[in-house]
Amino acid sequence: MFERFTSEARVAVASAQRIARDAHANEIRPEHLLAAVLDEGSAARSVLHAVKASAEDVSAELSRQRGRYPDGLDRDDAEALASLGVDLDEVVRRLEQSMGGLGRRRPARSSPRFSAAAKAALERALQEALELRHHRIGTEHVMLALATRGDRIVADTLSAAESPTAT
């Protein structure tokens, strides 16, 4: 599906793979795609400027959101666990106290694959381009796709960056 991607978008996709691998993540998730388009995508950053958000602020918020829970878990998981009476924030706090956190030291996989949500976001990017009658899929389309089809970390990051006062 990458043959219609702009060179910038291809670089961003490769960068998402590297970001996920460096984080020792189990798979490449929308959060890694967002980090990559913020780093590599001038077209994606211009979409943010259009809504008066700065890439730096979004990046900082994304790092904060990504660091909150262990790899592959987000606020949706925290809420699901709360239904069992498990307080994920407390679990994370205690693990940090007793063993300095959970960070993996080696990659879970040598080359992480795209998660279902990341694939859906990339497919949505193609739709965004088609709807705008653009022939190539650029990082701006990936950005738009993430805004509607991202995961919880992406959604929380973008909504916090949109309205910095209402965390």
Return residues touching another protein (CB under 8 A): 26, 70-73, 76-81, 83-84, 86, 88, 91, 95, 99, 102, 104-106
Q: Which long-range contacts (CB under 8 A, 24 or more apart) does 7-10 make?
A: 8/40, 8/41, 8/42, 8/43, 8/138, 8/139, 9/41, 9/125, 9/136, 9/137, 9/138, 9/139, 9/141, 9/142
Which CB atom, from 56 or from 76, has the smaller least distance to another protein?
Answer: 76
Q: From the CB of 70, what's the least distance to another protein, in Å?
A: 5
Which CB atom, from 18 or from 104, has the smaller least distance to another protein?
Answer: 104
Q: Measured between alpha carbons, how far is 95 from 97 in angstroms, rounded to an integer? A: 5
Which CB atom, from 11 or from 81, has the smaller least distance to another protein?
Answer: 81
Tokens of 166: 């209402």
Q: From the CB of 64, what's the least distance to another protein, in Å?
A: 20
Q: From the CB of 91, what's the least distance to another protein, in Å?
A: 7
